[in-house]
Structure 1
Amino acid sequence: MHIGLFTYGSRGDVQPYIALALRLTDEGYNVTLAAPENFKDFVESFKISFYPVAGNAEEIVHSPECEKIIKSGNNLAFIKFLFNSLSNRRSELFDSIIGFCSLVDAIVANNVGATTVSVAAERLNLKMIILQLNPPVIETNAFPVPGMPFPNLAWLNKLSYKLFYRIMWHFAKSDINEFRRRIGLPLSKHSVFKRIADARVPVLHAFSEELIKRPLDWEEHHLVTGFLMLDSLKRSENTFDNASDQLNKWLAQGAKPVYIGFGSIPVPDPLKLMQAITYLLNSTQERVLLCTGWSKIPDLPKHPNLFIVSGVNHQWLFPKCKIVVIHGGIGTLTAALTAGVPSIVVSLFVDQPIWGKLISKKGIGLHLPWRKMTPKSLSKAVKYLNNDAEIANNAVLVSKKLAAEDGVGATVRYIRQYFETVVN
């Protein structure tokens, strides 16, 4: 069977699918991974067949409009922007998606691409699974739609999901029906989300129940399967982002550093970040490892206790750090949790505040929203974690629990069971 994996987003959206692709390949499946075209070299470095999807995720987030939205932290504005960005590329995206789906026997897609991919799957009569890395948006009485301004009231929670999907359909309706018309399907009078729900498409959530427990009122095809992490052997065999000799030497020269990095999210105010780092360096003895990621940070300071990289393998690096200061994207957060290192989540928007609040509530780190972050508040948070043995112990305990889980294995087992019994 040829399984197609489709994901759209940043590295945090792509790397878990690489872990899944490798395990599926080991199980004997033919696998092709479709992702934004700027991830071609990264995916192929693992010897995985790659299918380029139109668009460059890094260019999208660096557009002036997106950077403005990131600074505001407005989730609805970002959702609208994301739909508009995809709509502006719709002709190329439609070609990419139908071309990719025509190659495979079954599809696993992330939630960003699932709505459009589901149309191609309908046209080609392919079975599909949605594999979601973000907080769940499946109707439940347990909590309201994560990341939206709804109160947590049992009688209101399910309604919040209906309102959420109505908003999503408002943004997506025109493009979805254009795609349907283009590939010979009748226009849809109903929401694509209702079609997915009515078809009982399985939705697997690739995070641990250590963070969010599976609601008891979910149907059986809605699951929490666990984090999708690259195993150590596969990671060590890949040389795509091996650490430089200079970084290894710097790490060996002193105490464990404080890591600071915002991954694929452009820092909305580089000067504010540099002031916070400079204050931390000058007011403490901390060693700081700054990863610029997709951020453009001019005039980086020079300091003997500061080392700067543009990118690094978090799973390899984080166990070598004492504290990690991150934006709270699920990929980076997963690496921090599995490393057993206390985190400071300096959240900006979308799912990041959700994860930040969760790690604070569970006593494995601190949540310091970007808008509240100052040089003094960041230094105070670092000092607090240095002196809080309970948080450090909790972080290690959670990492041990995660080490006993096998999210990739659980996901592969479900994929095999569903596709091989339903497709054949």
Structure 2
Amino acid sequence: MRVLLSTYGSRGDLEPLVGLAARLRELGTEVRVCAPPDEDFAQRLAGVGVPLVPVGRSARALTKAAPPSSSMPERAAALIAAQFEAVAAAAEGCDALVATGMMPAAAGALSVAEKLGIPSVSVTFQQLTLPSPHRRPLEYAGRPFPPEVTDNRVLWDLDAESINALFGAALNTNRASAGMPPVDDVRDYVIGDRPWLATDPVLDPWRETPDLDVVQTGAWVAPDTRPLPPGLEAFLAAGAPPVYAGFGSMPMHAAADAAQVAVEAIRAQGRRAVVLRGWAGLDPRDERDDCFVVGEVNQQALFGRVAAVVHHGGAGTTTTATRSGAPQVVVPQAADQPYWAGRVADLGIGAAHDGPTPTVESLSAALRTALAAETRDRAAAVAATIRHDGTTTAARLLLDAVGRGR
């Protein structure tokens, strides 16, 4: 059996697919992954024996470029065209396709599966793209909702209109070139009849809605067996557990300031610091021996050995920190990150920073909450409730669906 996993986005969009790919391979399935051509993506997949089929531009380069929101339809058109080309070639001979990542990329990949007659499933790693009367949708840059509209159902209708305006023409142009009928509602097409929500039900509880049959599999996490760098091991062993600070693949426009603010706030609590460079290139430019700067690192191994985790609130980092039992401070930057910050605060396993730009004072206040004994006790208790079978559940569902189709 052969399965194609398709995504386009940041490291947080790729990492869950690494977990699912590894589990599928353990079950004897041939797997390939269509994703941006970033070197660290290819290396991460190679580590689990899965080839990367490159599609589109480098995700890191696109993130750093920070193009204006007005260019979104043009970028979506290029991305959808790349999906039709790369995914079509990669999907030949496949028995199933799993699509996730940015909305236009998923729409392109699912269209290819439809054209080839391959069973497909749409997956999201956060529930905020799934229409629900219980909450409002995320706003697209440059397309704010009218402030006077507060009814969630109306807002979701406006969300569908925005998605059609941004991506509909590009998708249907490519579908027409492939001899396929147009899609009237891009969002509904991508979500499908039975979308998968690959998140933990404790950390991200889905409230049932009569209009959507959601399958919550649990989070997809790949066991990471990479050792920590020797220098980091020595730093950890040289004193009390430090506080980790990192913002993953977020651009962070004032990266140097953010790093220095984090280090000073951590020092104010009498703690040492471990700083992740990430895509923002965080560098506190500090020569004191109570601060250690790392590049790529095994977060699963590291988070269990720190006093707290300061991060941007990506779904993957939030899940890893929660599983590890480390208290958290979430400094949300964009998109779904304020939601994850709220979940951390609601569960009592850390603090949600107010806004994307911390000061020494504001981050210090959040750290005091995270480092409190009751927060650590609560974080340990919640960690014990988090599921670890997400990739197994998803792999079995996928293989069973293919088997039934045959």
Shift of 1:419: 2.4
Q: Which residue of 1 aligns with 2:184?
A: 190
CA 1:43–1:393: 2 relative to 1, 3 Å: same
Contact 1:139 1:218 in 2 (8 A): no
2:56 alignment counterpart: 54
Q: Which one of the candidate residues 138, 145, 164 is aligned to 2:130?
A: 138
Paired position in structure 2 for 1:414? 397
Cα distance 1:275–1:406, how it changes in 2: closer, same or farther (>3 A)?
A: same
The Cα shift of 1:348 comes to 0.7
1:13-412 map, 5 Å: 13-38=13-38, 39-65=41-67, 77=69, 83-112=73-102, 113-146=105-138, 156-186=151-181, 188=182, 190-196=184-190, 200=193, 202-218=194-210, 221-231=213-223, 235-236=224-225, 239=226, 242-280=227-265, 283-297=268-282, 300-371=285-356, 373-386=358-371, 388-402=372-386, 404-412=387-395
- Distance change >3 Å, CA 82–CA 292, structure 1 → 2: farther
Deviation digits for residues 150-187 of structure 1 (CA, Å, limit 9, x no counterpart): 79xxx93233222112111111012101211222223x
SS at match of 2:187: helix
Q: What amino acid is aligned across from residue 368 of structure 1 in structure 2?
A: H
Stretches of structure 1 that go unaligned for 5 or more consecutive residues are 67-76
Given that 1:281 and 1:305 are in contact with CA atoms closer than 8 Å, whether structure 2 keeps it comes out as no
How far apart, in 1, do the equivalents of 2:72 and 2:377 lie? 39
CA distance in 1, matches of 2:15, 2:190: 25
Residue 413 (structure 1) shift: 2.4
Local SS of the residue matching 1:215: coil
Question: Match of 1:8?
Answer: 8
Runs (5+) with no aligned partner, structure 2: none
Structure 1 residues 300 and 160, CA gap change in structure 2 (3 angstroms): same
Given the superposition, is the C-alpha separation of residues 81 and 288 from structure 1 closer, same or farther in structure 2, using an over 3 Å criterion?
farther
Per the alignment, in what secondary structure is the counterpart of residue 162 of structure 2? Answer: helix
CA distance in 1, matches of 2:208, 2:267: 50
1:390, distance to aligned residue in structure 2 (A): 2.3
Q: Taking structure 2 as the reference length, what is the TM-score of the superposition?
A: 0.90
Give aligned-pair identity as a percent.
Answer: 26
Q: Is the 8 A contact 1:147 1:354 kept in 2?
A: no
Equivalent residues of 1:279, 1:376 under 8 A apart: no
The amino acid of 1:287's aligned partner reads: R
Answer whether contact 2:183 2:189 (CA < 8 A) is retained. Answer: no
Aligned residues: 399
Deviation of the 1:44 alpha carbon: 1.2
The two structures have a TM-score, normalised by structure 1, of: 0.87
**Amino acid corresponding to residue 170 of structure 1 in structure 2:** A
